[in-house]
Amino acid sequence: MLELFSSVQGEGLLIGCRQIFLRLAGCNLCCAYCDTDFAPSAHCRVEQQPGSGQFVLWPNPVALPMVLGQIRDWLQQAPGAHHSLALTGGEPLLHGALLRDWLPQLRGLLPVQLETNGTLPQALAELLPWLDFVAMDIKLASQTGVPTPWAAHDEFLRLAAQRCCWVKLVVGPGTATTELEQAAALVVQRAPAATLVLQPRTLDHRCSLSAAELLAMQTVVAGLGVEVRVIGQMHRYLGML
Ligand SMILES: C[S@@+](CC[C@H](N)C(=O)[O-])C[C@H]1O[C@@H](n2cnc3c(N)ncnc32)[C@H](O)[C@@H]1O
Ligand SMILES: Nc1nc2[nH]cc(C(=O)O)c2c(=O)[nH]1
Ligand code: SF4
Ligand SMILES: [Mg+2]
C-alpha cells in the first residue's frame, strides 16, 4: 500500500465528494501521461490531519486493522463528511486476493469506488459484489503511447455495467476523432447507461487542450448518443492530494 488520505474526489462523476483514498502499488500499464508514482515502496504514507500535508510512514505490508483504525478515526473526527472510499493506484485490480480479503470490511465503513484502467476483467468479476462505483478508463493510444487494449476494455465494460459506472477518456493534443468514435461506440454497445467523461490531460499543472478543442471533442461524442461530461482534474487546481 502506498498512500492513505482523506481528500475530495477531483475526477469523474463523484467530483467534489469527500473520499478516503487508498492507493495500491504497481501497474500493468505505463501511460505516457501518468501523474502518479506507483512503484512499490517499503512504506505507505498516511496523511495525519486531512489537508495538513503531514504524513506518517507505515512499514509495508500494512495490515487491515491499521487501515480500518485510521479510517474510523477520520470518520469519527468528521461525522457525516465522507461519501465513499476510493480505491486507486497504480492499478488496484492487480491486488485481487488482498482486496477480496479487505473489501468486505472496508465496505462496512463506506461505499467503495474503484478507479481502474479497465484492462483486468477477470479480477473485476471477482470483486464486483463489494464495489458500489466503477470509474473505468478507456486508454487512448494517442495519449498513452501504446495501442488501446480494445478487447480487454470491451470485456471489462460489460462487467462494470452491472454497477454504477462511468468511463473516463484522458484526451489531449493528438487525440483523433476516430478514437473518440470507437470509445463512444463501445459505451453505447456495452454500457448504454454509463456517462463518458472527457478528462483533459493535465500537463505542467495546466489543461493541455484549448476550449475550442474540448468543445469539438464533446460534440463528436455527444453526437453518437452518449451522455458526456467534460471534467478536468479539479484536485490539482484546489491544491489537494
Ligand atoms: C493514476 S490513475 C490510477 C487508476 C488506474 N490505474 C487508471 O489509470 O485508471 C487515476 C486516474 O488519473 C488519470 N490521470 C493520470 N495522469 C493524468 C494526467 N496527466 N492528466 C489527466 N488525467 C490523468 C488516469 O487516467 C486515471 O483516470
Ligand atoms: N483528489 C483526488 N482525486 C482523484 N481522483 C482519482 C485520483 C487517482 O489518483 O486515482 C485522485 C487523486 O489522487 N486525488
Ligand atoms: S494505468 Fe493508471 S496508474 Fe497505470 S500508468 Fe496508466 S494512469 Fe498510471
Ligand atoms: Mg491522482
127 closest CA partner among 150, 100, 95: 100
Q: Do the Cβ atoms of 228 and 195 come closer than 8 Å?
A: yes
**Nearest ligand to residue 118 Cα:** 1
Asked whether 28 lines ligand 1 (CB < 6 A), one says: no
226 is in an annotated binding site: no
Q: Do the Cβ atoms of 136 and 156 come closer than 8 Å?
A: yes
**Nearest ligand to residue 21 Cα:** 2
The pTM for the full model equals 0.98
Share of the chain above pLDDT 70, in %: 100
9 is in an annotated binding site: yes
Task: Compute, in angstroms, the gap from residue 20 CA to the centroid of ligand 2.
Answer: 10
8 is in an annotated binding site: yes
Asked whether 207 lines ligand 1 (CB < 6 A), one says: no
204 closest CA partner among 173, 229, 182: 173
Cα distance from N-terminal residue to C-terminal residue, the chain: 16
For residue 80, report the phi and psi dihedrals to the nearest 5 degrees. Answer: 80, 0
**Nearest ligand to residue 235 Cα:** 2
Task: Compute, in angstroms, the gap from residue 15 CA to the centroid of ligand 2.
Answer: 10
pLDDT at site 173: 97
pLDDT tens, residue by residue, 120-135: 999 999 999 999 999 9
Write the CATH number of the domain with boundaries 3-238. Answer: 3.20.20.70
219 is in an annotated binding site: no
Task: Compute, in angstroms, the gap from residue 152 CA to the centroid of ligand 4.
Answer: 23
105 is in an annotated binding site: no
Looking at the CA of residue 9, tell me the nearest atom of ligand 2.
3
ipTM of predicted assembly, 2 dp: 0.99
Q: Which residues contact 149 (CB under 8 A, 6 or more apart)?
A: 119, 139
pLDDT tens, residue by residue, 8-47: 999 999 999 999 999 999 999 999 999 999 999 999 999 9
Cβ burial, residue 208 (10 Å; 0-12/13-18/19+): buried
pLDDT tens, residue by residue, 138-173: 999 999 999 999 999 999 999 999 999 999 999 999
If phi > 0 it is left, if psi is from -120 to 50 it is alpha, else beta; for residue 90 that is: left
Asked whether 32 lines ligand 3 (CB < 6 A), one says: no
Q: Do the Cβ atoms of 155 and 118 come closer than 8 Å?
A: no
pLDDT tens, residue by residue, 73-116: 999 999 999 999 999 999 999 999 999 999 999 999 999 999 99
Residue extents of the structural domains in the chain:
3-238
Asked whether 175 lines ligand 2 (CB < 6 A), one says: no
Amino acid at 21: F
- Residue 15: CB atoms within 10 A of its CB come to 16
Take residue 90 and report the three cell numbers written for it: 497504480
Asked whether 89 lines ligand 3 (CB < 6 A), one says: yes
